[in-house]
Amino acid sequence: MRRLLPLFLLALIPAPSTALADGCPLPCSGQSSSPPGSRLLYVQPQGPGGPMLAYDTASRRPVLEFGPGIASADGQVYFSGSRRGQRTRLWRSNVATGAPAGSRLLRGAWDIEAVSASGERVALVRRRPHRTTVQVFDFRGARATHVLRLQGNFEVEAISPDGEYLFLIQHLAKRRYLVRQYDLLHERLVARPLRAPGVKLMAGYAWSGIASQDGRWLLTLYLSTARNSAFVHSLDLERSKPVCIGLPSSGRFERLKRYSLTLEPGGQTLFAANPALGVIAEIDLTGSRVYRTTRFAPSRSGAAPRAATLSTISRNGRTLYFSAGRDLWAYDAAYRLVRGPYTTNGMIIGVGYGTKDRRIYAVRANGRMLAFDAATGRRMG
């Protein structure tokens, strides 16, 4: 991790394959900074798992740089790793300050795949053909508490809030998948897959995802090329309950990619906004349903090749700002009014509210940060 990253270095970062940010480092969603009250806006120009930059909203310049990695759901801790031969150095950093919080040297070549909500445990993965090895590492105890040797292609989705289960995606042929659960207390893979109601076998391409800060919800946007549709795969980590929630999916497949997911601060409502389709779907997570849909004139402005979560919401949960890669839009959830577009004259890699929710900041791919009045959308100098 480096401090005071020179601005010109941003020109050396390749164009983002996925533009992801909502003010705090993924997978957290719903707040404008991490921790609340800070002036930092976090972006990952190269997508999830890539390097992370923290911009100071006062100077509009990057002040912290983190190596490739992943943050805890509460947005407080960031894990990154570096490999040299058959050794992996695991780094833990404080998100708000960038201060190192220790490192551990592990045997073997491992990839970071999931972090517990509190940032105390991390799931590391090593893959071979038709075989997946997972190590659950307790950072404070400086030891591996569990080692899983699984037959097949598995991906670690999350660690349960109580640390008793791992949630896994078992990848099958033709983009089909199963949600599996591993019981860490009894060291066994639960035989019966977790299934969404009415769905025998789930299929789709995982496009983007966010998690609630309390670690309860893992929410993934899936796209189905076979059905030309989009849906949210909602996984309740406390109740071990997956649900597939269909989203408005009229239009070409390329437009479905422009959905952006944002949780309101209370963690009960998920906003799925898509300027390319001209639609905002509000989802009741407890009831697992779209309960309100708002339509507006679709945007025809160009978007990044793989724009994903580009949205942020005010702390009172009323105003949502979102983008499909270029222009900004605002949605007043109380009156169901959509404002915009507000032009940024470039590709965006991150958006977020400033202190006291008075301004909206957008970071362009060239490294420049723009400011807008949150109440009116007016560009500020």
The structural domains of the chain, with segments of one domain joined by +, span 2-380
Neighbours of 171 (CB within 10 A): 15
pLDDT band at 43 (very low <50, low <70, confident <90, very high): confident
Q: Across residues 117-137, what is the average pLDDT? A: 91
What mean pLDDT do residues 205-225 have? 85
Higher pLDDT, 177 or 279: 279
Cis amide prior to 341 (ω within 30 degrees)? yes
Q: Phi first, then psi: what are they for 175, rounded to 5°? A: 60, 25
Global pTM? 0.86
Which pLDDT belongs to residue 83?
A: 87
Q: Look at 14-23, 44-53, 199-208, 292-301 and tell me which has the smallest mean pLDDT.
A: 14-23
Rg (CA), the chain: 20
Question: Average pLDDT, stretch 121-126?
Answer: 93
What is the arithmetic mean of pLDDT over 209-217? 86
Q: Token match 């019981």: residue?
A: 183
Q: How confident is the model at residue 292 (pLDDT cuts 50, 70, 90)?
A: very high
* pLDDT 10s digits, 44-59: 887 778 888 889 888 8
Give whole-number Cα distances, 82 to 1, 13, 91, 112, 320, in Å. Answer: 11, 19, 8, 10, 37
Residue 371 confidence class, pLDDT cut points 50, 70, 90: very high
In CATH, the number for domain 2-380 is: 2.130.10.10
Residue 9's contacts (CB-CB under 8 Å, 6 or more residues apart) are none
Q: Are 256 and 246 in contact (CB under 8 A)?
A: no
Beta strand pairing status for 2-3 and 61-66?
Answer: antiparallel
pLDDT of 37 over the 80 cut: no
What string of DSSP letters covers 171-196? E-GGGEEEEEEEETTTTEE-SSPB--
Mean pLDDT of 204-231: 84
User: Which whole number is the average pLDDT over 164-169?
Assistant: 92
pLDDT at res. 266: 84
- Residue 199 CA: distances (Å) to CA of 115, 178, 338: 28, 11, 34
- Number of neighbouring beta carbons within 10 Å of residue 153: 15
Residues in Cβ contact with 180 at an 8 Å cutoff, skipping those fewer than 6 apart: 154, 167, 168, 169, 170, 189, 190, 193, 194
Amino acid, single-letter form, for residue 230? A
